[in-house]
Chains A and B, each alone.
Chain A
């Protein structure tokens, strides 16, 4: 049960403002989808949650504690590519997290502890549907299977927050539907708070309890040249946004799909049924 509070966060690279004044309050156990056009900063935002990038201004709190400035095992991640280690077998990939956390010097487990880790890893592999592939190397797995493996690998460390960076973008529709079912089941069965970047709107609305759209309210001159002006005029979704003094991306839409209660937010004391 982990809440994320994003408090007036700005991200700038020199003069270039990527994100401005982002305020989001993510309830524990929600499944948030970040959508928006390419280059709108949604991946930058995810990298800030990850700790790989730090906000220029503002702060991010996880369970009320400021985010550590580097990635740690509280936050699991699955990228679109390169999420698994090519030199380790499927089983070793899943066991790696446990090995790294329990054996600080060698990063390897032996004997009983290894057996226990192996059993846990096999259970996770069964959960994501990779039983029978334990001894293969990732390169011989299909894209969908690699992403399942990446999920199992991240879940092995029992993270509080799972960050997904366009994880299913490279998969074909059938495989993607299967993996949607899987991620939904994992989310239902655990206490994870999930933040997913996607450019697939249907995916966002199918999976998420909340969809947040990022868009630049103003277009930079080079962008005006680069993209068709008519379409961006048609999109007119910045009506509820005040004119911004600086040209970064802002949240233009924030849609709660599920009532917070259903999404697993803690029940207020007064409404708890007497046990």
Chain B
């Protein structure tokens, strides 16, 4: 049988999916053991026991100085920034994407400026944001908004323009105005596609968040990682990175489930 015709069944699929994770885990354990055998004080590849202790200290015991559970307060601080930024950029993208997508005049006016502006490297704007908005929450949220909104707008504009011309004409023959077409034909078809677009922007959003927190913050997951870097605390950094990855993964999963639940027509319509 040709290799491309071999299809794993469900249990094989699960087993195969776990395989690379297991390999990574084993590779780490062996490397860590080897280094620790050489030098028990090695900080580069801490043992799982050491990481467990660090997690216990950060997640389950209150901080001696502030009385906070550090991992919890870091997570809340980061998620607040990330989610509020994503909500802002999603709403902006939805409005502007649809307007630019359906109105040729808006496309002629705003299309080029959005295309140019989306090429500005957002991190290069961070100093400007810090100067204008100060070092507080606003500048961090703004960085994520700038970094994700323009791409979302462009993506959504393209998706709007992908709606078959026939549908738009049909809506007009049913007596729809521009506003009605936007609200009843375009918007409902854009929501599931917006979810796809936002899923792809979760990665960049975390990037901007961590960058902003690394430079100026007093809480947050990115702040913590860069703080303990000074002490080579890999036993804290590695669990934090895993935790961030899990958070991003579950955000993605939640959006995917939301898409499937809220828009039952979408999967079939997309493949049609």
Residues A137 and B265 in contact, CB atoms below 8 Å apart: yes
| Nearest CB of A to B267, in Å | 8
**B13 on interface, CB distance cutoff 8 Å:** no
**A242 on interface, CB distance cutoff 8 Å:** no
**A187 on interface, CB distance cutoff 8 Å:** no
Residue from A76, A85, A107, A137 within 8 A of B167 (CB atoms)? A85
CB-CB < 8 A to A107: which residues of B? Answer: 176, 180, 183-184
**A100 on interface, CB distance cutoff 8 Å:** yes
CB-CB < 8 A to A159: which residues of B? Answer: 173
> Which chain B residues numbered 162 to 185 have a C-beta less than 8 Å away from chain A?
164, 166-167, 169-177, 179-180, 183-185
CB-CB < 8 A to B171: which residues of A? Answer: 85, 96, 100
CA distance A32 to B9 in the complex (A): 55
**B189 on interface, CB distance cutoff 8 Å:** yes
CA distance A104 to B269 in the complex (A): 27
| Nearest CB of A to B49, in Å | 53
Residues A86 and B189 in contact, CB atoms below 8 Å apart: yes
Interface centre among B173, B263, B264, B265 (most CB of A within 10 A): B173
CB-CB < 8 A to A156: which residues of B? Answer: 174
Interface centre among A75, A139, A154, A159 (most CB of B within 10 A): A139
Q: Given contacts A100-B175, A101-B175, is CB(A79)–CB(B264) below 8 Å?
A: no
Residues B167 and A100 in contact, CB atoms below 8 Å apart: no
CB-CB < 8 A to A272: which residues of B? Answer: none
Q: Given contacts A83-B166, A85-B167, is CB(A154)–CB(B173) below 8 Å?
A: yes
CA distance A82 to B167 in the complex (A): 6
CB-CB < 8 A to B177: which residues of A? Answer: 100, 104
Residues A153 and B174 in contact, CB atoms below 8 Å apart: yes
Interface string of A89-116 (1 = CB under 8 A from B): 0000000110111001111100000000
Q: Given contacts A137-B269, A139-B265, is CB(A83)–CB(B172) below 8 Å?
A: no
CB-CB < 8 A to A137: which residues of B? Answer: 264-265, 268-269
Residues A157 and B175 in contact, CB atoms below 8 Å apart: yes
Q: Given contacts A101-B175, A104-B180, is CB(A87)–CB(B272) below 8 Å?
A: no
**A50 on interface, CB distance cutoff 8 Å:** yes
| Nearest CB of B to A35, in Å | 21
Nearest B residue to A154 via CB reads B173
Interface size class of B (residues with CB under 8 A): 20 to 34
Residues B173 and A77 in contact, CB atoms below 8 Å apart: yes
Interface string of A49-77 (1 = CB under 8 A from B): 01010000000000000000011110111
**A140 on interface, CB distance cutoff 8 Å:** yes
CA distance A156 to B169 in the complex (A): 16
Interface string of B175-202 (1 = CB under 8 A from A): 1110110011100110000000000000
| Nearest CB of A to B103, in Å | 14
**A81 on interface, CB distance cutoff 8 Å:** yes
CA distance A108 to B185 in the complex (A): 12
Q: Given contacts A81-B164, A100-B174, A100-B175, is CB(A71)–CB(B169) below 8 Å?
A: yes
Q: What count of chain A residues pass the 8 Å CB interface test?
A: 38
| Nearest CB of B to A239, in Å | 37
Residues B268 and A139 in contact, CB atoms below 8 Å apart: yes
Interface string of A119-148 (1 = CB under 8 A from B): 000000000000000000111100000000
Q: Given contacts A79-B166, A85-B167, A86-B269, is CB(A97)–CB(B184) below 8 Å?
A: no
Residue from B175, B179, B265, B269 within 8 A of A73 (CB atoms)? B175
Q: Given contacts A73-B174, A86-B269, A153-B174, is CB(A96)–CB(B184) below 8 Å?
A: yes
CA distance A81 to B203 in the complex (A): 37
CB-CB < 8 A to B169: which residues of A? Answer: 50, 52, 71, 77, 79
Residues A87 and B180 in contact, CB atoms below 8 Å apart: no
Residues B166 and A81 in contact, CB atoms below 8 Å apart: yes
Residues A77 and B170 in contact, CB atoms below 8 Å apart: yes
> Which chain B residues numbered 38 to 84 have a C-beta less than 8 Å away from chain A?
none
CB-CB < 8 A to A76: which residues of B? Answer: 173
Residues A72 and B269 in contact, CB atoms below 8 Å apart: no
| Nearest CB of B to A117, in Å | 13
Interface centre among B174, B266, B268 (most CB of A within 10 A): B174
* Nearest 7 interchain pairs by C-beta: A139-B268, A86-B269, A73-B175, A82-B164, A97-B174, A71-B172, A82-B166
* A-to-B contact residues, CB < 8 Å: 50, 52, 70-73, 75-77, 79, 81-88, 96-97, 99-101, 104-108, 137-140, 150, 153-154, 156-157, 159
A-B contacts, 18 listed (Cβ < 8 Å)? A50-B169, A70-B172, A71-B173, A72-B172, A73-B175, A76-B173, A85-B170, A85-B171, A85-B185, A86-B189, A86-B268, A100-B177, A100-B184, A104-B177, A150-B170, A154-B170, A154-B173, A159-B173
Q: A86-B268, A108-B184, A154-B174 are in contact. List 7 more A-B contacts (CB 8 A).
A: A79-B169, A85-B170, A101-B174, A107-B180, A137-B265, A153-B174, A157-B174
